[in-house]
Each structure stands twice: as C-alpha cells, then as structure tokens.
Amino acid sequence: MLGRAQPDAALSHAHTVFGGPMIALPPGGLRNMKWREVMDAVRRRVFAARHDRKDFGAAVVIGRELERKRITSELHDGLGQALTLIKLTIEDARIRLRGGRTLEARELLDAAVIRICEAIGDVRQICNELNPVLLERLGLVASLASLCARVDERVENLSVRFDCGVQDAEVPGNLRADIFRVAQEALTNALRHGSAKTIDVRLHCTEHGLSLAIEDDGVGFDTLCTATDPDFDGGLGLIGMKHRVEAAGGTFVVQSSVTGGTLVSAIWSV
Ligand SMILES: Nc1ncnc2c1ncn2[C@@H]1O[C@H](COP(=O)(O)OP(=O)(O)O)[C@@H](O)[C@H]1O
Ligand SMILES: [Mg+2]
C-alpha cells in the first residue's frame, strides 16, 4: 500500500513551465496511487503554494489527471458491467430459444433492449462530460439554455432561470467552452452543496466586458474558510473555475456566506 509520502514525492517531481504548460509526471503517472491519497496531496500542494503559479499549474494538471481516472472508472465499473450483464442476458435467451422456451427468451431479450438503451444513455453522458457535443452543435447560448432547462426539468422544486443578453457571434471562440464549463460546475455546486431552490444564470455584455454570473439561494458557505483551511475536504471545482477564467485573462469572484446564497461571477474583457 502507498504511504502518504509517496504522492507528495510524486508531486514534487511534476515540473511546470508556464506559458506553454509542460508537466512531467513521475513514471506511471498517478495510475498506481489511491484516489484519496492523490486528492490529499493535490490539496496540500495547492494550499502550500497558493501564490506560486508554477505549483498551482501543476495541481490543476494533476486535477485533470484525476478527472481522467474518474472517467476511466465510470467506463470500467459502469459501462463495462452493464455490457457484461447484457451479454449474459442475451446468452441466457439463446439457451432458452434452443430449448423452445420462446416466451422466456422474449422476456430476456426485452430486458436486454432496456439495458442497452440505458447503456447508450450512459455513453452519451460520459461523452458529453468529456466534450460538450451540444456546444459544438448548437453554439454557446443555446447550449446554456438547454443545460438550464435540463436541470430545471430534472430536479424537483428547483427553478433555473437563464437571462442572456448576448449572441454567439459576440462571444470569442476561445471563451465558449470556458463559459459553458464554469456555468456547469457552478450549477452543480448550487444543487449538490447549496440545495438551492432558485438558480439564476446570466450572460451579458457590460461596459466592463463579457459577464457570466450564477447566483443561487442555497445554504451558502464560508469562502474564507474554504480558501484558507488546509484540512478543507472539498474538491477542485472552485480552483478549476478560477484557473480557467484567469488563464483566459478574466477575473473570477465567488461571494457567499453561511447565512445563505452564493454568487459565482466571471468577467472577461472582449
Ligand atoms: N453554491 C454553493 N453552495 C454551497 N456551498 C458551496 C457552493 N459552491 C461551493 N460550495 C462549497 O465549496 C466546496 C468546494 O467546492 P468545489 O471546489 O466545487 O469542490 P466539490 O464540489 O468537489 O466539493 C464545496 O464542497 C462546498 O462546501
Ligand atoms: Mg464542485
């Protein structure tokens, strides 16, 4: 079993050259490390070197590696198991067909079709997480509208409003994926952590630039505590959003308090 010292040692070997990020992970990358240990190491490194762009960049790249690990396990544990089950069900149906038990075989095949449909849905979801297809097909504004509508429909007692004052042509191509990802993460946080009843997503061109805001009326949180507590047990969502926005020259701000409500905003001069 890996000790705590090893992920730290691995991280200290990650070299970053900013301005064309170049990260060399240790041989074997993070493959052999336990998820929890890697997350702890990343968090310690981020807190220890918050003001050092080089280490911050390394932590973000490792965060991406973690994301790949998560998707691999979704493919392996989720989709892999679903396909195995489908194969077994069809084999079972074949045996029954050979024995002349057509009714039973038909029921099994019906069940297999339902499972195949579920697996297709899983594949779509995984692909969409990797690369929002909607974004390329529909464009940013329609994709955001569709994201908001989907969350609004799927979650009971929640209202998601989308207020948009821009057209796709006004949004530089390099910012589209960033805007979509920030909105997606902030919406997820509002639901998962805030238990919000109302979420407002706003995208506008202002005198200061292109402005994105996601505001929820959920439980809120202590941003100071989250930013300074080295034992904070959260993920890399807020850090990832900040890095994304700042890497494209924007400004990222999170306002929240334990009395309730969270406002995530990003602004890019265009
Ligand atoms: N909209 C929100 N409402 C309440 N708490 C939030 C919200 N957004 C973030 N948080 C708090 O900040 C923490 C860090 O969020 P994040 O970096 O996205 O990581 P993760 O979502 O994986 O926990 C969360 O665990 C939660 O405690
Ligand atoms: Mg999150």
Between residues 78 and 146, the one the model is more confident about:
146
Mean pLDDT of 216-242: 79
From atom 6 of ligand 1, which residue's Cα is the shortest distance away?
A: 193
Looking up tokens 């948009």, which residue turns up? 164
Can you tell me the distance from the alpha carbon of 109 to that of 96, in angstroms, rounded to the nearest whole number?
A: 11
Tell me the best of 193, 223, 245 to mutate to test the pocket of ligand 1, counting ligand atoms within 8 Å of each CB and taking the most: 193
- Of 9-13, 154-158, 236-240, the least confident: 9-13
Identify the nearest ligand to the CA of 235 by its number: 1
Burial of 206 per CB tally in 10 Å (0-12, 13-18, 19+): exposed
Between residues 32 and 102, the one the model is more confident about:
102
Sheet bearing 251-256, strands edge to edge? 159-164, 198-206, 209-216, 262-268, 251-256
Confidence of residue 29 (pLDDT cuts 50, 70, 90): very low
Closest CA to 214 of 188, 232, 240, 239: 188
Report all structural domains of the chain as residue ranges with CATH numbers, in order of start.
Answer: 1-130 (no CATH), 140-268 (3.30.565.10)
Tell me the best of 60, 195, 221 to mutate to test the pocket of ligand 1, counting ligand atoms within 8 Å of each CB and taking the most: 221
CB-ligand 1 contact for 235 (6 Å cutoff): yes
Q: Which atom of ligand 1 is nearest to the CA of 264?
A: 1
Helix (H, G, I), strand (E, B) or coil at 204: strand
CB-ligand 1 contact for 189 (6 Å cutoff): yes
Residues found in the chain: 270
pLDDT digits (tens, 9 = 90+) for 36-70: 565 666 666 665 555 455 556 666 666 667 677 77
CB-ligand 1 contact for 238 (6 Å cutoff): yes
